[in-house]
Structure 1
Amino acid sequence: MKNNLDYPAAEATKPFGRYLATALLVSAAYVLLSALLIGFKSDQLVLAGIFTALYVSTPITRKFILGFSIFIVFWVIFDYMKAFPNYWFNEVHIGSLYNAEARLFGIHTAEGVLTPNEYFQRHSIVLADVLAGLFYLCWIPVPLGFAAYLFFRDRRSFLYFSLTFLLTNLIGFVIYYLYPAAPPWYVQEYGLDFIAGTRGNTAGLIRFDHFFNITIFQSLYTKGSNVFAAMPSLHSAYPLLVLYHSWRNNMGFMKIVFGMITVGIWFAAVYTSHHYVLDVLAGIAVATTGIILFQTLVAKSKRFARFVEGYVGMIS
């Protein structure tokens, strides 16, 4: 005869077992695929471990990680781009982009016409170095922190922001492959000739590292997926997405804060020679396109709207 006192406890273990099996299967598939495409890294085990722990721990952590899986998808795609460099598929734009920047935004000096990047390289100041580094450190923590806030405040708003973020990145990634482009620091270091496999470079952000005697940006830029992915500047797109959704959610004073961060990142991108002004403008255009496209899909596509509603229900 079945012990009725033991039955509820036995039943309670079944969902946990299913959740654990699902999490381990997904994590194992991710680690295996990553090892095949880009080689094994300890970071992959960390990500898999976080996913598994949150998925099996509690209902709220499960909903949290299911929601934030949107950002995990972004990161995995970004990481896997290392396996398929965009310069395999199209010519890298170096001189043409540099010349366009000089023609449209060139600064006339005694040395001749300089791009804004070249001008700032020659006229850097410590305060701007520090501010640029601080602003550039915001490019991922601010969107993630904003998403976490929305998750606990309004799951629908969280999902709208997160899916718009992913959609904006996908648009940017497509452009990376259609229009490979070298950043300003590449021209400063190597000239106008294409050199495949060039490693990432901290460029002007090295001054921030030197000022504080740290290696934070040096460490970050050794992990870059592709040097020739400067156009559009997704660094410039992310804070604009946050700013838009802060206005949409009527966040009061924080709208001003996010506005300052947005402009600060735009300035830092150019000041540190990581992006041309043209790259920043393209990033703004991509973010705007992502916002409009997402809103259009929700309003016009019943299938997409049902998907979003289902996702909201899953994490609520």
Structure 2
Amino acid sequence: MSLVRPVSKALQFVWTAFVAAVARLDKSFSPSDTLLRIQQHTFTLSDYIYITFNVSLFTFWLYLMQSPGFPAKLLIPFLYITALAIPFTSQFFVPATPVFGWLITYYSSRFIPDSWRPNVSVVLLPTLESVLYGANISDILTRYTHPFLDILAWIPYGVGHFIIPFVVAAFLWLFRPKQALHQWARIFGWLNLTGVIIQILLPCAPPWYEVIYGLAPATYAVRGSAAGLARIDALFHGNGYTVAFGGAPVVFGAFPSLHSACATLEGLFLSHFFPQVTKFVWIYVLVLYWATMYLTHHYLIDVVGGSSLAVACFYLLLPDEVKGPFATSLPPNLGGSSMRSKYQLYDLEEPRTRSRSSANGNIMRAADYDLDDLSERESDEEEVDITFRSPVVPDAPRSAVPLIKPNTGSGAGAGAKIAASRSVGSGAPGREGHRHTASIASLIRADERAEDGWSPIASSFSGLPPTPTKAERDAQV
């Protein structure tokens, strides 16, 4: 029972992610939507270079392709353009364009005329391996074989190599924003396309050729070999790998090892977008490194070259928009966010915005008030006349606090009182704190006013003796 609940929750989350991923798909089948997007898109120089390169690449390999022949092979570009025109299919085919470029390059390379092909190097790789590492490492690893080791090498090399790329794509599609899947398809395609072009321009014999033919010069008439995977065919009483490798279009594609390159790229992507599986995926990568040499398909220098190519493609082609916290965020409709501000992108603290009202329920801080702006607004208020109490005013209140001259309208009077109260302590240039100034002036001139029989102090404190007049003070002196 302890495992049932976690497994049930995991399956429920996978199903929820699948439903959310399907909901994110563009389900339109109208080519007019695609045309509208093209019209709204602003093409840059890099876009034109990208389009020109891919059109030239596809045209070149279609020209060399002999099977299917003309005009049947024209069906390939027709179907591809149709897939690009339909929004539902274009969302997969557009980012996967480098993958299709790699596939047509790999397949059509068999039709390259022999007069165009460079000579095959047989001794270059074993010589480099002996010079760099002191021995032929792949030869050492193949001296002892065992059915258990054959199975252990076959799982990553003969099975995982063809399945893991789709597993990575599925996980990115389900649990990460769509930009992650697009970058996986793009970088995976460019990696394999670059590797195949290097193999065509720099053909090198793999270790199995040395085992079968020695160091004799190689020709393009030699068919490929399943090498160590032939033992897997014998173990399972089949011939699948023997047939597949025997008809491979690129026979002398030892350097770089695309098996190690793909495994390295898979490890980098999974470690970047799913850090929790880092140690497990790199164990798989290391086992595949060993399997490529154990099955006599690659030298150690091939493994190093393929891994270096994968690292270069990952760090040079992966854009900043899928780095940082975005890499581990969920899709928008699965509880994540696909948008990051510039402060999140560069790991900066976001500034606090000013708010002049508390309508949103937040407590306003002193920093939210702009005193200069407040003074400017108060300077525009209507001036209010202020009069001081005087003994000539009948029934005047016994206080030195100035009065505000009332207006005729009740609303205007209230507004004048508010404006006058705001003017106190505003500190605006050219304005005076009338209330405090009047009180101080009344106190200073209290002696003079006392001569006339009125004093703000005497009137305010009825329990005190009256203030003597000037004549009485002179008489006392």
- TM-score with structure 2 setting the length: 0.49
Pick one of 132, 135, 145 that aligns with 1:124. 145
Which of 253, 261, 270 aligns to 2:284? It is 261
Determine helix, strand or coil for the equivalent of 2:140.
helix
- 1:252 equivalent to 2:267? Answer no
Between 256-265 and 62-71, the greater mean CA deviation after superposition: 62-71
Give aligned pairs, total.
266
- 2:65 corresponds to: 37
2:111 maps to 83
Contact kept? 1:236, 1:262, Cα under 8 Å: yes
Deviations 1:198-244 (A, max 9, x none): 11100011111211222231232133121111111011000111111
Please list, as runs of the form range in 1=range in 2, the aligned pairs for 1:35-74 lying within 5 A after superposition: 37-40=65-68, 55=83, 60-74=88-102
Residue of 170, 186, 190 corresponding to 1:148: 170
- Matched with 2:260 is 236
Q: Go from structure 1 to structure 2 and tell me whether the alpha carbon gap of 1:208 and 1:105 turns closer, same or farther (over 3 Å shift).
A: farther
d(CA) in 2 for partners of 1:250 and 1:36? 42
Does the Cα contact within 8 Å between 1:87 and 1:180 map onto a contact in 2?
Answer: no
**Cα distance, 1:169 vs structure 2:** 2.1
CA distance, structure 2, for counterparts of residue 85 and residue 269 of structure 1: 30
Distance 2:134 2:229 in 1: 22
- Amino acid in structure 2 at the alignment position of 1:245: F
Helix, strand or coil for the counterpart of 1:63? Answer: helix
**Of residues 167, 173, 191 in structure 2, which corresponds to 1:168?**
191
What TM-score results when the alignment is normalised by the length of structure 1?
A: 0.71
Residue 218 of structure 2 is aligned to residue 195 of structure 1 = yes
User: Higher relative contact order by CA 8 Å / sep ≥ 6: 1 or 2?
Assistant: 1
Give 1:65 deviation, angstroms: 4.0
- 3-state SS of 2:256 partner: coil
Q: CA RMSD in A?
A: 3.8
**Following TM superposition, by how much is the alpha carbon of 1:287 offset from its aligned partner in structure 2, in angstroms?**
0.8
Residue 35 of structure 1, CA deviation: 8.8
* Aligned-pair CA distance for 1:295: 3.6
| Cα deviation, residue 40, structure 1 | 2.5
**Residues 1:68 and 1:171: Cα distance change in structure 2 (over 3 Å):** closer
Q: Give how far 1:76 is off.
A: 1.3
Distance 1:105 1:36, change over 3 A: closer
Partners in 1 of 2:251 and 2:320 — Cα distance?
Answer: 32
Aligned amino acid, residue 185 of structure 2: S
Give the conservation status (yes or no) of the 8 Å contact 2:33–2:87.
no
Residues 132 and 220 (structure 1), Cα distance of their counterparts in 2 relative to 1, 3 Å cut: same
Amino acid across the alignment from 1:149: F
Distance 2:230 2:115 in 1: 26
Q: 1:67 to 1:292 in 2, by over 3 A?
A: closer
Runs of 5+ in structure 2 lacking a partner? 1-27, 35-57, 323-477
Residues 35/145 of structure 1: CA separation in 2 closer, same or farther (3 Å cut): farther
* Higher alpha-carbon Rg: 2
Separation (CA, whole Å) in 1 of partners of 2:308 and 2:29: 49
Counterpart CA distance in 1 for 2:244 and 2:113 is 19
Shift of 1:140: 2.6
| Residues 29-63 of structure 1: CA deviation (Å, up to 9, x unaligned) | x8xx759524229xx99x96xx67x949x954552
Offset of residue 245 of structure 1: 1.1
SS in 2 for 1:139: helix
Distance of 1:173 and 1:297 partners within structure 2: 27
- The Cα shift of 1:123 comes to 0.8
Aligned partner letter, 1:236: S
Q: CA deviation at 1:250?
A: 2.6
Matching residue of 2:228: 204
2:116 & 2:305 partners in 1: Cα distance?
22
- Tell me the CA shift for residue 296 of structure 1: 7.2
Q: Aligned pair in 2 of structure 1 residues 184, 236: CA closer, same or farther (>3 Å)?
A: same
C-alpha contact (below 8 Å) 1:64/1:151 kept by paired residues: no
Q: Which amino acid aligns with 1:170?
A: L
- Structure 2 partner of 1:10: none
Partner of 1:310: none
Pairing 1:174-185 to 2, within 5 Å after superposition: 174-185=197-208
2:237 counterpart residue number: 213
C-alpha change, 1:170 and 1:262, in structure 2 (3 Å) is: same
Whether the aligned pair in 2 keeps the contact of 1:85 and 1:226 (CA below 8 Å) is: no
Read off the aligned partner of 1:73 and give its amino acid letter: G
- Counterpart of 1:212, as a letter, is F
Q: What percentage of residue pairs aligned between the two structures are identical?
A: 25
- Decide whether the 8 Å contact of 1:236 with 1:266 is kept in 2: yes
Cα distance in 1 between the residues matched to 2:213 and 2:115: 17
